[in-house]
Amino acid sequence: MEQNNETSGGDFILLGFSDQPQLEVILFAVVLISYLLTLLGNTAIILVSCLDPKLHTPMYFFLTNLSFLDLCFTTSIVPQLLWNLKGPTKTITPTGCAVQLCVSLSLGSTECVLLTIMAFDRYVAVCRPLNYSTIMHPSFCKALAGIAWLSGVGNTLIQGTITLQLPRCGHHQLHHFLCEVPAMIKLACVDIHANEVQLFVATLVLLLLPMALILVSYGFIVQAVMKLKSVQAWHKTVGTCGSHLIVVSLYFGTSSVIYIQPKRSYGHSQGKFLTLFYTVVTPTLNPLIYTLRNRDVKGALRRLLRSDQNS
């Protein structure tokens, strides 16, 4: 690492998994396969949702936004990660680091809000079915999606700017595989208590609050279905909400450990693997979950494949 430090100048050194070189070969293959599946799966969902008229509904409008977001999110992280995993060079330029931090932070924050909006959509569909088309009007759905994207940008303008302006006194080694706010804060050579408080407040607003709103939404959904006392209603609700619940559990479950749990309560290795899961693995699983558990998407895929064969 000393040689890298000397030759990298002002570049940041992403130590990542360099202490386990034998693991890097395995991770390179896993990350590459996951990334290719992410590109394929999310692109397929976007195309199917746009091309099939039957999927021109609020649910698939938000799912299209989620798939596009996941494509951009992984692309902001994975190419640099693959480059670092394939050889001894682990550097990233200051500009590249700033771009990666801002883009991944913005998209990660957007995903938290977007998943909350999708839970609200499911609440309206189950609890207010007669008013669904009136409430979830296309213009209202676009406004909600806009709020999600703007919230990510706003969070980045605050957190990203504050983090990047911290004096580092020549510290350039990140014990991580990406430029992420918690890892970047640790490089500061000044008191970071105010930054940790600010990060905690942002976590409350963009992680814990969305989790609470999602739980409330599904609490009302369960309550509404229990009143019906119908097995068919239960099956329909599980089919409608099951995929979203699994995606929410995967994303919030892993990211919350990174941003909520005290920084010293888990080792560097555990934190890196959890980050790897929600930044690389989860975007790969999302399209699989929605495809395997959703009859509408599977039916749309079959219709598109048949139309291609007939043409």
DSSP 62-128: HHHHHHHHHHHHHHTTHHHHHHHHSSS--EE-HHHHHHHHHHHHHHHHHHHHHHHHHHHHHHHHHH-
**CATH number of the domain enclosing 171:** 1.20.1070.10
Average pLDDT, the chain: 85
Tally the domains of the chain: 1
The amino acid at 53: P
Q: What percent of the chain has pLDDT over 90?
A: 40
Identify the band that residue 233 occupies on the pLDDT scale cut at 50, 70 and 90: low
As a dihedral over the C-alpha atoms of residue 287, residue 290, residue 292, residue 298, rounded to 10 degrees, the angle is -100
Residue 247 is part of which domain span? Answer: 2-310
Give me the mean pLDDT over the 196-203 stretch: 86
Distance between CA atoms of residues 297 and 290, nearest Å: 7
Which residue did the predictor score with more confidence, 309 or 287? 287
Q: What residues contact 92, with CB distance under 8 A and at least 6 apart?
A: 11, 12, 14, 80, 84, 100, 179
Residue 5: per-residue pLDDT: 40
Residue 7: per-residue pLDDT: 42
Radius of gyration over every alpha carbon of the chain, rounded to an integer in angstroms? 21
Residue 1: per-residue pLDDT: 41
Using one digit for the tens of pLDDT, what is the confidence trace for 242-291?
Answer: 888 888 888 888 888 777 764 554 456 777 888 898 899 999 988 888 77
The pair of structure tokens assigned to 37 is 């599946």
Using one digit for the tens of pLDDT, what is the confidence trace for 26-81?
Answer: 999 999 999 999 999 999 889 888 888 888 899 899 999 999 999 999 999 999 99
Whether residue 50 contacts residue 99, with contact meaning beta carbons closer than 8 Å, is answered with no
